[in-house]
Amino acid sequence: MITRKELIRTGVSAAGVMLAGEVAGFGKILLRSAAEESCRGSIGLSGRAARILSGASLAPSGHNTQPWDVKIISENEWVIGWDKSRALPAVDPHNRELMLSIGAFCGALKISAKNEGLDARMAVTAKNPFSADLVKITFRESESSDYYMEALRKRRTVKKGLLSQPINNADISYITSGTGTKICTFNRGSREGDFIEAAVLESNKIQAARGDAQAELAEWIRWSRKDVMKHMNGLSPAGMEIGGFGGWYVSHFFDREDVMSLSFREQTVDMVENFLSSYGTWIIITSDREDCKSLIDAGEGFLKLGINSWRKKIALHPMTQPLEEAGFSGNLKKNIGIEENIQFILRAGYVEEYPLPVSVRMPVERIIR
Interface with ligand FMN (CB under 6 A): 60-64, 97, 100-101, 104, 156-157, 235, 239, 317-320, 357, 359
Residue number of the CB atom closest to ligand FMN:
60
Contact (Cβ atoms closer than 8 angstroms) between residue 238 and residue 24: yes
Query: Cβ 319 to ligand FMN, closest distance in Å?
Result: 5
**In the complex, what is the shortest distance from the CB of residue 366 to ligand FMN, in angstroms, rounded to a whole number?**
16
Residue 2 C-beta: closest distance to ligand FMN, Å: 26
Reference 182, options 297, 348, 310, 105; nearest CA is 297
Q: Which is nearer to ligand FMN, 75 or 297 (CB)?
A: 297
Which residue's CB is nearer to ligand FMN, number 60 or number 193?
60
Q: Which is nearer to ligand FMN, 185 or 321 (CB)?
A: 321
Spacing of C-alpha 293 from chain mean position: 18
Cα separation, 23 vs 146, in Å, equals 28
Contact 22, 29 (CB under 8 A): no
Q: How would you label 92-117 residue by residue, b for 16+ Cβ within 10 Å and e otherwise? A: beebbbbbbbbbbbbbbbbbbbbbbe
Nearer to ligand FMN, 105 or 139 (CB): 105
Output the smallest distance, CB 119 to ligand FMN, in A. 24
CB nearer ligand FMN, residue 38 or residue 157: 157
Residue 119 backbone phi and psi in degrees, to 5: -90, 125
CB of 88 to ligand FMN, least distance (A): 9
CB of 234 to ligand FMN, least distance (A): 8
Q: Which residues contact 339 (CB under 8 A, 6 or more apart)?
A: 333
Residue nearer to ligand FMN on the CB measure, 19 or 184? 19
Residue 69 or 97: which CB sits closer to ligand FMN?
97
The distance of closest approach from Cβ of residue 274 to ligand FMN in the complex, given in angstroms and rounded to an integer, is 13
Helix (H) / strand (E) element for 30: namely strand 27-30
- The long-range contacts involving 190-193, CB below 8 angstroms and separated by at least 24 positions, are 192/282, 192/335, 192/336, 192/337, 193/281, 193/282
Sheet holding 341-350, edge to edge: 182-187, 281-287, 341-350, 314-318
